[in-house]
Amino acid sequence: MRLLWVGHNLAYPPKGGPLQRNYNLLREAAKSCEVHVLAFDQPATRPPGVSPQDCVRALAEFCASVDWVPLSREASKAHRYWLGLRGLASSEPFEIHWLRSSEMVQRLRKILHNVHFDVVHFDTLGLAQYRRLVTSSGTVLNHHDIQSSLMAQRAINDPNMVRRHYWRREAQKLQQGEQRWCSRFEVNLIVSGEDKKLLTDLLPKITTAVVPNGVDTDYFRPRPDPGEKRLLFCGSLDRYPNRGAMNFFFEAIWPRLTRRHSNVEAYVVGPNPPKWLQQLNARDERVHVPGFVEDVRPYFRMATAYVCPIRDGGGTRLKILDALAMGVPVIATSFACSGLSLEDGKHVLLAETPEDFVFRIEQLFSDTRLRLSLAAAGRAIAEQVYSWRVIGRSLIEAYEAASEIRPILDETRNVSGTAVKSFANRGGKD
């Protein structure tokens, strides 16, 4: 099978979030498909010293070809604000404006003219605008999350009235975009059963496949219980949900915890820490903020627990899976664990309020047997459910279904054809 992956990032280096998901899905796809990549380059997703050419070389180790289109304006905050303001007068969401490019149209037309693909994968809703260029291949639209739902939640949680209005309007436009575009793809990929329900409630007739987020269980190996009193959080600290989670942790949880445990330490690992967090690092020797690191595993090895107090926003939950694979006990909100098949008390400890978090943290500090039990169960579910090898099989099934469905749609324009029914019987759609 020949696959064209149209992406909104170059999927390298695989250090958290969509980059980590995309890199591993591409690697799994390449085991069964001839994979070609055409993607936007987002400078903000690349660490210092990593060039687009570095990304291309890394992906070319398992992809047949890799090409990219610059999205240099993405690095300009002024340009993004301008797009946001322009979007107020537009019926289209920011996501569409941001990824609109005449150069991408030209490159995509060229590669589709020169090479026949069985399946074309579009990696986010903002790329759905290029679906019209594909005339003879099966198509797949990937949803890292259901964007209209996340934006609506952000509108509820934002304390600023003006921003709340903007987020509500964006949520409406994103939902209209989902209604407009999703049914034009043979298969919609989603990451969880919860996201599947959100999308199929909106569009009951679409064909879906759940391809969850995963973890490299060979790279993230179990470590011995370190004891101690060290807490860890990892994530890009310029992202809204992570920044909000750290605000919540250090404003509401940390003071309560340190009054009872003066020797506790907190490590916050990830690029672009805000100024207030860097200042806290400077004045409180128990708080460590190393910024971006090449390898997070040493921090997981020393952590007594991984704490994830995310309460809203998007996110791929990959660091929770990394922690589980390394046998690090996880304390998290139910929202942070949404979409993951994790049982409270067996795989994770759930906490919602500051008091809940302090109670759960103290449980782990004092109970070695509980830590070891959570570590074993976490590693087991990582291997059995969330290994990229397992998830890769679901991805290939979705591609095969899209390739089969397309000829039927060309002939009948009726999505109730036999290939759709066959895929539904395999679990692609209820």
pLDDT in tens, 120-150: 999 999 999 999 999 989 999 999 988 888 8
Query: In the structure, how many helices (H) and strands (E) does the chain have?
Result: 17, 13
pLDDT top residue among 135 and 16: 135
Please give the CATH architecture assigned to the domain spanning 230-384: 3-Layer(aba) Sandwich (3.40)
Least confident window among 91-100, 261-270, 278-287, 379-388: 91-100
* pLDDT category of residue 194 using cuts at 50, 70 and 90: confident
Please give the order of strands across the beta sheet that includes 208-210: 65-70, 34-41, 2-7, 119-122, 138-142, 187-190, 208-210
Q: What is the DSSP letter of 348?
A: B
* pLDDT category of residue 414 using cuts at 50, 70 and 90: very low
Of 343, 325, 337, residue with least CA distance to 388: 325
Q: How far apart are CA 308 and CA 233, in angstroms?
A: 6
**Chain segment 153-193, per-residue pLDDT in tens:** 888 877 888 888 888 999 899 999 999 999 999 999 998 88
How many angstroms separate the Cα of 33 from the Cα of each of 14, 64, 114, 118?
20, 9, 18, 10
Strands (E), 102-250: 119-122, 138-142, 187-190, 208-210, 230-234
pLDDT top residue among 238 and 113: 113
Cα 116–Cα 118–Cα 124 angle in degrees, nearest 5? 105
Strands (E), 235-286: 265-269
Mean pLDDT value across residues 233-258 = 92
Q: Are 306 and 320 in contact (CB under 8 A)?
A: yes
426: which 2 tokens? Answer: 């395999």
pLDDT value of position 416: 39
Question: Which residues neighbour 200 within 8 Å (Cβ) at sequence distance 6 or greater?
Answer: 206, 208, 429, 430
Q: How far apart are CA 300 and CA 19, in angstroms?
A: 20
Q: What is the DSSP letter of 87?
A: H
Q: Quick one: how far is CA 397 from the chain centroid?
A: 21
Place of tokens 């074309």: 120
Q: Are 307 and 233 in contact (CB under 8 A)?
A: yes
Least confident window among 78-87, 229-238, 343-352, 366-375: 78-87
Q: How far apart are CA 142 and CA 123, in angstroms?
A: 5
**Chain segment 319-373, per-residue pLDDT in tens:** 999 999 999 999 999 989 988 889 999 999 999 999 999 999 999 999 999 999 9
81: which 2 tokens? Answer: 């604000």
Place of tokens 């004891």: 227
**pTM as predicted:** 0.81
pLDDT value of position 17: 74
Place of tokens 């190393």: 290
pLDDT value of position 75: 42
Count Cα neighbours of 193 within 13 Å in the Cβ-side half-sphere.
Answer: 6
* pLDDT category of residue 315 using cuts at 50, 70 and 90: low
Domain residue spans of the chain: 2-214+389-425, 230-384
H/E stretch holding 290 reads: strand 287-291
Domains 2-214+389-425 and 230-384 alike in fold? yes
CATH T-level assignment (fold) for domain 2-214+389-425:
Rossmann fold (3.40.50)
Q: How far apart are CA 281 and CA 106, in angstroms?
A: 48
